[in-house]
Amino acid sequence: MKGILVLVAITQAPCRGFTFQAATIATSSIQLQKGTSTDVGDDGLVQISTENKQTALSMTIDQLEKVLGGRGRARLAWDCYCNGADPTYFFGDTHLLAAKSIFGEYSDKLSLAQHVLPTPRVTQTIGKNGLSLLADLHSHCGGGVENGLATLIHISTSTDGTTKLLLRLMDGFEVETVLIPFWAADSNTNEIESRTTRYATLGRTTVCISSQVGCKQGCSFCATGKMGKLRSLSSDEILAQLFYAKKIVRLSHDGILDSGKVVLPPVSNIVFMGMGEPADNAQSVKDAINIMTKTDLFQLKATRITVSTVAPTPEAFMEFCDSKCVLAWSVHAARDELRKKLVPTTKYTMSELRQGLIDTLHKRKRNLRTVMIEVALIADVNDSLQEADGLADFLKYITNEVPASNLMVNVIPYNDIGTDLTNGYKQPSSERILLFQRRLLAAGVLANVRGTRGDEESAACGQLATSRKKKECSTETAALPVDD
């Protein structure tokens, strides 16, 4: 039986503790590192892009074997990357390199090896020649992934464990990544004392990943959209976010982090719902997904990776037809006039975009015909019973047209993005949200609402944004901000 499922779980987000401070921005001319270039767009603004110079993060074992001159070296390097450790530091000179890690994790290599390397390889080394070749590969980004390709400059963790990372890229631009933990039902605490709990029973961590610095889609309720698009990320920069997420999870179990008593569950889910529009950077996103799902690399399941798109064109869905991921469509409104208000860059009717999704689903494997439908619910804008009726009718057409399709709707209560950007939008009351849910239920749609995580401290859906401006970017920054 075909069905539509709307995920709902109305909760009060207990997030506290985020105190992101804007980094100092120099107004001098843009400073670029090797591997970057500039151009001037039609709007007269400086456009910054990076040449897609490959790092080990976007290489398979076979590819890295050819670079390092041995399969054993390639496996050792990937053992490190998969656990958020940079082999350049791990196998390098302790005195010269350990100090560069902000957590000091590389000073005790024996202990780190037990956490990072599998037992058969725990005593193996990549060798001086392997290190030299690895450094040559990363010569364009300071010799490595960590503190080279991307640098972790801020970490903040709320009381519910939601953890927000701020990463600085080589050209000085910054992106945000959010780790959202979900503890297993039999795990009664996430405190440090629970480290003895079996690792596999701790639940899961979902990583919300960015695909661009900023976004050109301009959704009226989204902070990222207010930034405009500064540039797209390379597949390596996308994968660097997963690298750092894995590091933070590992260090939380080792008690190294200063951010509190939270022990994060293992990373098992990825959602491309951070900064940027994945369809505007499709190739890099697809290349990153390919690495994420390799069984000898990050080993993530296709059904645990979700790519969310606003669908700039009907063809946007087809870009990910063969990708090992679940598709998500940011619908927000089924009615063309209202959808245009919420997504001002919309150029196609909802019927045209829907047909693009239907055509794509027909070509996807049956186990990948699940689609997440996202609706940012805004008080007195799209939360009426009439809008719920229209949404239900709109979605039923898809399930009737596509065999084995399964639509799961995320009703997302609007998150405030700041008084200067809000457009007067407000989150609906719990009563209005429940009425919207019940209307969908009456139409045969199972309804729930996605609980908000990190909303009070700008880590929730629609709130991600960094302080970098199109004309103001400098590699000179202030000291690392700390939490209150």
- Token pair 């780190």 in the structure block, residue: 112
Known catalytic residue at 461? yes
Q: Take residue 203 and report the two structure tokens written for it.
A: 């639940």
Dist. CA 283–CA 296, nearest whole Å: 22
Please identify which of the residues 141, 208, 222, 461 carries the catalytic annotation: 461
Long-range contacts of 26-35 (CB under 8 A, 24+ apart): 26/472, 26/474, 26/476, 27/472, 28/474, 30/172, 30/471, 30/473, 30/474, 31/172, 31/473, 31/474, 31/475, 31/476, 32/171, 33/170, 33/171, 33/475, 34/140, 35/140, 35/141, 35/170
Residue 481 CB partners (closer than 8 Å, separation 6+): 19, 20, 21, 23, 154
* Cβ atoms of residues 429 and 391 within 8 Å: no
- Token pair 């019940």 in the structure block, residue: 438
| C-alpha Rg value of the chain to the nearest Å | 22
Q: What is the dihedral of CA 374, 378, 380, 381, to 10 degrees?
A: -60
Neighbours of 28 (CB within 10 A): 10
Q: Take residue 370 and report the two structure tokens written for it.
A: 């699940």
Known catalytic residue at 321? no
Please identify which of the residues 146, 176, 277, 319 carries the catalytic annotation: 176
> Which of 373, 326, 382 lies closest to 354, judged by CA?
373
**Cα angle 268-266-256, degrees, rounded to a multiple of 5:** 145
Half-sphere exposure of 186 (CA within 13 A, CB side): 5
For the annotated catalytic residues, the residue numbers are 176, 461
